[in-house]
Each structure stands twice: as structure tokens, then as C-alpha cells.
């Protein structure tokens, strides 16, 4: 147990890494706990990026040096917010619906914790490749491309992006061993982080009661899917955190404040370097968010800000794989020109079956029912992202493998989990909150609205 505690304590380094950026005065729009979670998520991405860069430069990993280098990167990114005015803190929740929502979200996290401790939620993929890859990287003190290129890693999807394995390897360097239970416990920790950070972010898009209730729905749907589909310890929970928080930052008033764009860009890059299917999600969110900006120059700037960290981080990973002959892009996914369209019916049936076997399909049907009841007052950005993700995954299952049934049975509920969460997020809508307000006005007129900075263009 002590090895697990030491391993998990490495998580504390992540908010420290993200601290310089999130301590900028413009980030004060977020309450303290939300800022800690955002700092941890940004810190995780920066640490993983630093580990990839160190591997590219043939530098052996050292835990302290990695933290120091990542801190420098975080401090450099802080300079991008130079001149940004102080934000007005989103006021804490009041009572009523928020208290009940907080209780449901806490219960969902507690259930995920108990299920993990009881040995009922850990992922086979943790045993098959996330854990072994992290252990190999920690032993080699680098992204071990020789291991990835070798026969031992043949079934370990060598091209899978590095964030989860790098962060696990960092914790293993820190603790000196890889405790499987600790890796599985990242599930409730990440769900708790999401439950803590999401309501304040959504309060810039919807009323405090709706924001809290939608957050509770997102967390309870993900917790149910994770425990039913055995997702503890693999990269899915990390992906959910990055995707949901990154998108939630972009649901506020338009034009989107610069600080929200910067943080969302880093979180989307975190998603893109966690799992392959995040790439279409990131592209959809970047296009959708940029298209929603009111002026042309703002659209170009928003798109560039949102996509640049992904291009750099994913690019460095793909270059590393290519240079060391470990993998070549996402080639294993096959050729899009060879899609087995004749299997569309089979794939749809198998996906339906797989989702139905996940708690009777409840975590997917319930958010879908909420969306139908809330029509037509829905946010378009989460729906666009959900559509892109579902289309990508559906297309992937049509690739020419011998029989996709078993693959779908293993993976569909987990990989489509963000779609359920995005459906829930689309309900977080309050048209009055889409109008930008300057900080002072926000405090006097609508105290719970996240105000964009004073020098935002278009104001």
C-alpha cells in the first residue's frame, strides 16, 4: 500500500508544474480548487511534452530535472498572457440544486473508488500495454523506442500517443516501482478532479444550478461507464478530463477570452497526446469554436491558439517514432480507402449491443433523453464534437479487420463514453450568458458570470 501512496503522490507535482501559468492574474476568474485542477491538467501535459522532447534529445529522464524543465515551459507560456487584465473570480455556488448536484457527483466518484478498490473496475489494457510500456519507459529513463519497435511490444500499439504512459513512467521513477492498484486508482482521482473543476467552468455558459446539475450528469455517466466497462487505470479517464475541461472552457461568452483559448489549447493538446481518437475531437472543437467567434481575425487567432499546442506535441511524438523506426504515424488504423462499408449494419448492431451491455445502456440513453427534452436549447459545440468523435470511431470499426465484433465488444462503451458526456454538456445553455460583459459589469449585474478580460478585442 505504501508503494501505491508514494506512486500516487507524484500527482502532486502536476499542479506545481502548471502553477506558474495558472497563477497569472487573468486566471483568477476560476475559483481556487478549479485552478488547482486546471494547473494539474496543464502540468500533466507540459510534463509529458517535456519527456517527449527529452527523449528526442537523447536525454535520460530524471524526475527533478523533468519537473524543473516543465516549470520553465509553464513560466514561458505565462508570458503569452502578458498584458492580460485580472479576471473577476466566478463566485462560489449558492445552494439548492448545486448542493444536490455536488452530492450526486461525490457519490459517483465514491462509487468509482469503491469499485476500483474492490477490484471490479481495472482495465485489461492496463495489464496488456499501458502498465508494461510505462514500466519499460521508466526502466530505460526515456521513451524506449527500441522496446516499442521490438516483438515484445507488437500488441502494445506502439504508436499510441505518450501522455498516459509518460505520466505513469514519471510516477514510477518517483516511487521506484509500478503498483497496479495505484494506477487503477487514477480513475476516481481523475473523476473527482473533473467533478471539482467542471461546475465553475460551466457557470460561464449556464446558470449555477444548471452548471452544477450538468456536471453531476457528466461525472455520473462517466463513472458508470468506467466501472461497467473496466476503464480504471487505462488512458480513458485522462482523456475524458482533458476533453471535457478543454471544451467547457470554450462554452462561455463570445469572443472567447484569450486566457480561455490558451488553456483550452493546452488541454486539447493533452487530449490529442493521450489517445488517437482525440484528434478528430480536437479538430472539431477548434473549427467549431473558431467559427463561433464574431470577427474574422478573432476566428483565425482562436483556431491557431487552439491547435498549435496539439501540432507541436503530437508532431514531436510522431517525429520521435519515425526517427527511431518505432512506428510510422497512425498507420495501424488502416487505409480509409479500404473501408468495409458492407459491414455498416454489423458494426451498428455490435455497437448497439456493446452499449446495451453497459448497465443496460443507461449512461448513454439517459443523457440522450435529457438532450431530447431540452430541444431546441442546446449548445452546438459539444454536439459537433460528439458527432466528429462518433463518426471517427464508427469509421474505425469499418476498417478491414477480420472480425470487428470482439473489438467493438471490448472498446465501444469506453471509447464512446465522451459522446455521452458531450450530450450532457450540450444542455448547459443560457443564452443570456453568451453575451460578453466587462469585468466590472459582470460583478455588479451578474455576479456568477465569468467575465472576459477588459482588453478583449471586440469589446
Partner 1 sequence: MKRAALLPLAASALLVAAAALRLPRPYSLLSAETNPFRRTLSPFDGRLYALARAAAPSIPVGARVAVESGSGRAGDSIYCAMVARSLLPGRDVRAVPAAPGWKPEFLIRVGARGAARPPEARPIFRLAEGDVWKLAS
Of 26 and 218, CB closest to partner 1: 218
User: What's phi and psi for 232, nearest 5 deg?
Assistant: -70, 130
Among residues 278, 359, 383, 412, the one that binds partner 1 under rule CB under 8 A = 359
Q: Which is nearer to partner 1, 233 or 270 (CB)?
A: 233
In this structure, the number of other CB atoms found within 10 A of the CB of residue 114 comes to 13
Site string for partner 1, 143-162 (x = CB under 8 A): ---------x--x-------
What's the grid cell of residue 142? 526515456
The three grid cell numbers given for residue 400, joined into one nine-digit string? 478491414
Query: Count of residues for the chain?
Result: 459
Find out whether 59 and 50 touch, Cβ atoms under 8 Å.
Answer: no
Minimum distance from CB of 127 to partner 1 (Å)? 5
Q: By CB under 8 A, tell whether 3 contacts partner 1.
A: no
401 contributes a contact to partner 1 by CB under 8 A: no
Q: Is 180 in the site for partner 1 (CB under 8 A)?
A: yes
Closer of 116 and 274 to partner 1 (Cβ):
116
Helix (H) or strand (E) holding 6: helix 2-9
* Residue 184 in contact with partner 1, rule: CB under 8 A: yes
Shortest Cβ 143–partner 1 spacing (Å): 18
Q: Mark 245-271 as b/e (b = at least 16 C-beta within 10 Å).
A: bbbbbbbbbbbbbbbbbbbbbbbbbbb
Give the closest residue to 236 by CA, choosing from 126, 133, 366: 126
Stretch that binds partner 1, among 74-82, 225-233, 387-395, 444-452 (CB under 8 A): 225-233
87: left (phi over 0), alpha (psi -120 to 50) or beta: beta
Among 228, 243, 350, 456, the residue binding partner 1 under the rule CB under 8 A is: 228
Burial profile 354-390: b = 16 or more Cβ within 10 angstroms, e = fewer: bbeebbebbbbebbeebbeeeeeebbebbbbbbebbb
Do the beta carbons of residue 415 and residue 277 sit within 8 Å? yes
Q: Answer yes or no whether residue 36 interacts with partner 1 by CB under 8 A.
A: no
Q: Which spans of this chain sit near partner 1 (rule: CB under 8 A)?
A: 1, 96-97, 100-101, 104-105, 107-108, 111-112, 114-124, 127-128, 131-132, 135, 152, 155, 180-181, 184, 206-207, 209-210, 212-214, 216-217, 219-221, 223-224, 227-228, 230, 232-233, 359-360, 362-363, 366-367, 369-370, 373-374, 377, 424, 427, 429-430
Amino acid at each position: 500500500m505504501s508503494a501505491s501512496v508514494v506512486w500516487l503522490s507524484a500527482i502532486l507535482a502536476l499542479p506545481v508544474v502548471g502553477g506558474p501559468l495558472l497563477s497569472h492574474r487573468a486566471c483568477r476568474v476560476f475559483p481556487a480548487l478549479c485552478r488547482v485542477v486546471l494547473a494539474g491538467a496543464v502540468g500533466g501535459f507540459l510534463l509529458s511534452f517535456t519527456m517527449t522532447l527529452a527523449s528526442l534529445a537523447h536525454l535520460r529522464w530524471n524526475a527533478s530535472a523533468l519537473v524543473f524543465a516543465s516549470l520553465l515551459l509553464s513560466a514561458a507560456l505565462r508570458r503569452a498572457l502578458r498584458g492580460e487584465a485580472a479576471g473577476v473570480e466566478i463566485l462560489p455556488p449558492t445552494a439548492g440544486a448545486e448542493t444536490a448536484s455536488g452530492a450526486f457527483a461525490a457519490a459517483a466518484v465514491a462509487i468509482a473508488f469503491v469499485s476500483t478498490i474492490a477490484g471490479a473496475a481495472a482495465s485489461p489494457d492496463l495489464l496488456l500495454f499501458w502498465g508494461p510500456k510505462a514500466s519499460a519507459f521508466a526502466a530505460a529513463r526515456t521513451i524506449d523506442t527500441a522496446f516499442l519497435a521490438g516483438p515484445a511490444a507488437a500488441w502494445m500499439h506502439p504508436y499510441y500517443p505518450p501522455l498516459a504512459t509518460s505520466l505513469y513512467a514519471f510516477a514510477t521513477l518517483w516511487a521506484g516501482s509500478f503498483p497496479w492498484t495505484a494506477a487503477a486508482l487514477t480513475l476516481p482521482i481523475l473523476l473527482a478532479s473533473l467533478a471539482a473543476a467542471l461546475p465553475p467552468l460551466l457557470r460561464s455558459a449556464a446558470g449555477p444550478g444548471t452548471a452544477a446539475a450538468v456536471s453531476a450528469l457528466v461525472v455520473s455517466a462517466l463513472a458508470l461507464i468506467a466501472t461497467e466497462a473496466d476503464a480504471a487505470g487505462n488512458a480513458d479517464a485522462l482523456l475524458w478530463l482533458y476533453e471535457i475541461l478543454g471544451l467547457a472552457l470554450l462554452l462561455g461568452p463570445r469572443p472567447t477570452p484569450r486566457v480561455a483559448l490558451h488553456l483550452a489549447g493546452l488541454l486539447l493538446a493533452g487530449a490529442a497526446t493521450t489517445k488517437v481518437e482525440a484528434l478528430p475531437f480536437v479538430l472539431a472543437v477548434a473549427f467549431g469554436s473558431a467559427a463561433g467567434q464574431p470577427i474574422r481575425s478573432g476566428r483565425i487567432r482562436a483556431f491557431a491558439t487552439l491547435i498549435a499546442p496539439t501540432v507541436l506535441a503530437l508532431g514531436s511524438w510522431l517525429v520521435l517514432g519515425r526517427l527511431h523506426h518505432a512506428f510510422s504515424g497512425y498507420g495501424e488504423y488502416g487505409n480509409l480507402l479500404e473501408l468495409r462499408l458492407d459491414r455498416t449494419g454489423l458494426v451498428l448492431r455490435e455497437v448497439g449491443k456493446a452499449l446495451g451491455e453497459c448497465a443496460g445502456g443507461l449512461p448513454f440513453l439517459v443523457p440522450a433523453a435529457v438532450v431530447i427534452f431540452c430541444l431546441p436549447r442546446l449548445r452546438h459545440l459539444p454536439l459537433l464534437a460528439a458527432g466528429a468523435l462518433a463518426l471517427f470511431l464508427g469509421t474505425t470499426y469499418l476498417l478491414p479487420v477480420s472480425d470487428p465484433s470482439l473489438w467493438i465488444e471490448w472498446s465501444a462503451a469506453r471509447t464512446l463514453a465522451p459522446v455521452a458526456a458531450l450530450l450532457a454538456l450540450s444542455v448547459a445553455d443560457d443564452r443570456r450568458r453568451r453575451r460578453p460583459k466587462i469585468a466590472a459589469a459582470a460583478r455588479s449585474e451578474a455576479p456568477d458570470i465569468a467575465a472576459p478580460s477588459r482588453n478583449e478585442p471586440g469589446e
